[in-house]
A and B are shown apart, each in its own frame.
Chain A
Amino acid sequence: MNRRDSIKALGLAAAGGALLLESCGPDTKTKKETATGGEKLAGVTEQEHRRNQQLAAERFFTDHELATIAVLADIIIPADEVSGSATDAGVPDFIEFIVKDIPDHQTPMRGGLKWLDVQSQRRYGQVFIKCGEKQRLELVDKIAYPAKAKPETAQGVAFFSLMRDLTASGFFTSEIGVKDIGYVGNRPGVWDGVPEDLLQAHGFSDGWG
């Protein structure tokens, strides 16, 4: 079979090939699939699928915690001229799933959210999400920059780093995020080395350097 036959065979091969032909679906699909554990894909074992569904059916965060996560996620990745925000990409649902999947994240997340509310309460007399944007950002500024944060905010810095990592993971692995980051692979093609203009721009004489 040559490459053209391979690609043809793929087109006929049920799900994987059909996916290639589909355009990107609506973003709500991402949210829904994350929340339900998704459909069982061929090659996923029954046991794995059951685990996904069970985790999706459980609830870890309270409404208040999830609302706080949503606010923080959009502070970390807001909408800009290129793409939507973290909540547009379903990041809070992803974080709800991943802390059940990786239980080591549970206490740092829950405790970190509480830490944030306690700080907010002390400083502004109300929990984080009740604060105005200026106050929220004032507080975030104290924990978003590890190198200049004060030692007494170290726990907050650790929490924010985790929240930032989970937000970036959730956002840039969503349909919106993959498009934003500019990943253009995951499709059949031909690899013949680095394109000529890039070779030149980077000072390489040919495809083998």
Chain B
Amino acid sequence: MISYQIKENPTVYDAIVVGSGAGGGMAGYVLANAGLKVLMLEAGPFFDPAKDALQLRWPWESPRRGAGTVRPFGDFDAAYGGWELDGEPYTRAAGTEFEWFRARMLGGRTNHWGRISLRMGPDDFRPKDGITDAWPITYEEVKPYYDRVDRMIGIYGTVEGLPNEPDGIFLKPPKPRLNELYIKRGAQKAGVPVIAGRGAVLTEAAPEVEGRGTCFYCGQCGRSCRVYGDFSSSSCLVMPAMKTGNLTVVDNAMVREVLTNDEGLATGVSYVNTQDLQEYTVKGKVVILGASACESARLLLNSKSASHPGGLANSTGLVGRYLHDSTGASAGGFLPQLLDRKRYNEDGVGSVHIYSPWWGDNSKLNFPRGYHIEYGGGLHMPSYGFLNWVPKVNHLVPTADGQSREQGGYGTSLKADYRRYYGANVGMAGRGTALARYDNYCEIDPTRVDKYGIPVLRFHYKWANEEVEQAKHMQETFKEILHEMGAVVTSPMPGPETLYGLEAPGKIIHEGGTTRMGDDPKKSVLNRWCQAHDCRNLFVVDAGPFVQQGDKNLTWTILALSMRTSEYILKERNKLNI
């Protein structure tokens, strides 16, 4: 029998952290290590990659052979969650799109992410084109934190000296696979640079990293790592922070709202246990939100009180505004030079071995900013659907003994074709800057609640010409690269009717901007320390504070900013300001 009485925890924590992903994990780590008593609330279950990773499983150990029916990125992917969660809906305003990926688990989406770890550059913080607002902080101010994240967590890469693609403190990068050598050669002919990837994987022992194993090259970072050879917030931040004895983690705790007092200061949060539906309140001197950009915005908007009638930290009405994801489009083909290729183990690391940082000159282009390109293909572990492309293209190249083939087929000749084409595929995907716009936003849907009775988000998001033109440019570039490497293009060349294959907003899972920072309290939700203008003991440490992300995947910047904010909290505590 459920008690309907709300259980009040009498402890007053020094800090309450909502969410255990990159932002929440780092805040918990820094504060617990500084001796603060920290409570971390996670909506999903506890997850330890050492025990719960489906790493090194074979495809036949899944009855659906790794298909994406239950987990969108396949049965072995580490994320508990997806684009749609039972009983936790979200809605979209008519004529707009947004896809929202949520992982409910300790460590959140860091358990399955691509580990691609790029720093934003000087121009990303302070754009020279004036098209989007500048951040209140510069690259130089964030650089020391990036450096410390590099050393603390470990990242591989190469020092390149590129102007807006800052170098880090790198471990040795993995060498390219065979198809990647072809890509590199082809891209260079097409005028597109290719450099070593930058990924949060321990390719060698790192001096400042303890308690984690070195990568053994199974290429399965997406399943999370049993030896903690890559970065997950669960393995690298939260569990080490628990070992200090200062961090308490409550899992299956869905936060309902941030509680405030008459002065408008945060006093704690209320949450519901997702397993037995018991309601709780807990008290904290500081509340830190790291629930993900949209979830943190939702929480603020749902935290209404007499002192914060429009939602907490929302006197400007800007919470939820400036929502932006990355752009994404892709193309693929196969390399006739790799047909009947010699087999070898090229699993490598589960992050990227190579990538193309943005190279374009915007003065000669009809869109602002740019994108980077990630590459794929090769002799991957078999899984559901991985050879479906073969019978569609097996007529395009003569057989080894010069015979022509009909498309499709069956029998021993088809069986031979599957072997012949396996591993000859190549793919490429652009990830670019989508502009942060006031008119792209999430808000509380006035009529809908989730299964816990918490009002849900309604999204309003439309692509504009800048993103569409960028996607067009991606497709033209992909085609050129594929041509220059001698590949047969098998993906259709999408036209304006599909926005050149531009993925729906949200699909790249880089959403940010919903609680943006700024020096002007009228134009931003948070100050330059990610502290709410309206509530000095409230902080946000996910991608919500991003004024405008570059084409650089978010995680490394979330980690650096969360570390910076957490140390600011420690300083302000010492000064008795919070």
Residues of A within 8 A of B (CB): 1-3, 5-7, 9-10, 13-14, 16-17, 19-20, 30, 33-34, 37-38, 41-45, 48, 51-52, 55-56, 75-78, 80, 82, 94, 97-98, 101-102, 140, 144-148, 160-161, 164-165, 168-170, 172-175, 177-178, 180-195, 197-199, 201-202, 204, 207-209
B348 touches A172 (CB 8 A): no
Of B54, B380, B387, B408, which one neighbours A146 at CB under 8 angstroms? Answer: B408
Nearest 5 A/B pairs, CB to CB: A193-B175, A6-B213, A173-B59, A43-B52, A188-B216
A190 touches B69 (CB 8 A): no
Known contacts being A193-B176, A194-B346, A207-B176, is A77 close to B63, with CB within 8 Å? Answer: no
B342 touches A198 (CB 8 A): yes
B13 to chain A, nearest CB (A): 29
A209 touches B185 (CB 8 A): yes
A92 to chain B, nearest CB (A): 14
Known contacts being A48-B70, A186-B58, is A147 close to B408, with CB within 8 Å? Answer: yes
B contact patch SS: loop
A140 touches B410 (CB 8 A): yes
Digitize B375-416: 1 where CB-to-A-CB distance is under 8 Å, 0 elsewhere.
000011111111110110001000000000011111110110
Of B45, B346, B408, most buried by chain A (CB within 10 Å of CB) is B408
A102 touches B69 (CB 8 A): yes
Known contacts being A33-B60, A182-B419, A192-B175, is A173 close to B384, with CB within 8 Å? Answer: yes
A-B contact pairs, 7 of them (CB 8 A): A6-B227, A16-B53, A98-B64, A164-B414, A182-B419, A185-B219, A191-B174
In the assembled complex, the Cα of A192 lies from the Cα of B347 at a distance in Å of 11
A183 touches B379 (CB 8 A): yes
Known contacts being A38-B61, A188-B216, A189-B217, is A10 close to B227, with CB within 8 Å? Answer: yes
In the assembled complex, the Cα of A195 lies from the Cα of B181 at a distance in Å of 12
Cβ of B344 within 8 Å of any chain A Cβ, yes or no, is: yes
- Give the nearest-CB partner of B416 in chain A: A80
Known contacts being A9-B213, A76-B411, A202-B337, is A168 close to B387, with CB within 8 Å? Answer: yes
In the assembled complex, the Cα of A144 lies from the Cα of B407 at a distance in Å of 9
In the assembled complex, the Cα of A148 lies from the Cα of B78 at a distance in Å of 44
Q: Hey, which chain A residues are within 8 Å of B419, CB to CB?
A: 82, 180-182
Q: Hey, which chain A residues are within 8 Å of B564, CB to CB?
A: none
Q: Hey, which chain A residues are within 8 Å of B344, CB to CB?
A: 184, 194-195, 198
B55 touches A204 (CB 8 A): no
Of A43, A52, A75, A202, which one neighbours B181 at CB under 8 angstroms? Answer: A202
B347 touches A186 (CB 8 A): yes
B181 touches A181 (CB 8 A): no
Cβ of B109 within 8 Å of any chain A Cβ, yes or no, is: no
In the assembled complex, the Cα of A33 lies from the Cα of B60 at a distance in Å of 8
Of A3, A42, A51, A207, most buried by chain B (CB within 10 Å of CB) is A3
In the assembled complex, the Cα of A155 lies from the Cα of B43 at a distance in Å of 47
Of B57, B214, B219, B384, which one neighbours A169 at CB under 8 angstroms? Answer: B384
In the assembled complex, the Cα of A180 lies from the Cα of B322 at a distance in Å of 51
- Give the nearest-CB partner of B178 in chain A: A194
A165 touches B64 (CB 8 A): no
- Give the nearest-CB partner of B205 in chain A: A2
Cβ of B56 within 8 Å of any chain A Cβ, yes or no, is: yes
A10 touches B216 (CB 8 A): yes
- Give the nearest-CB partner of A169 in chain B: B384
A168 to chain B, nearest CB (A): 5
B50 touches A13 (CB 8 A): yes
A168 touches B388 (CB 8 A): yes
A94 touches B410 (CB 8 A): no
Q: Hey, which chain A residues are within 8 Å of B382, CB to CB?
A: 172-173, 177-178, 181, 183
Q: Hey, which chain B residues are within 8 Å of A13, CB to CB?
A: 50, 226
B53 touches A43 (CB 8 A): yes
Known contacts being A6-B229, A168-B387, A208-B176, is A34 close to B342, with CB within 8 Å? Answer: no
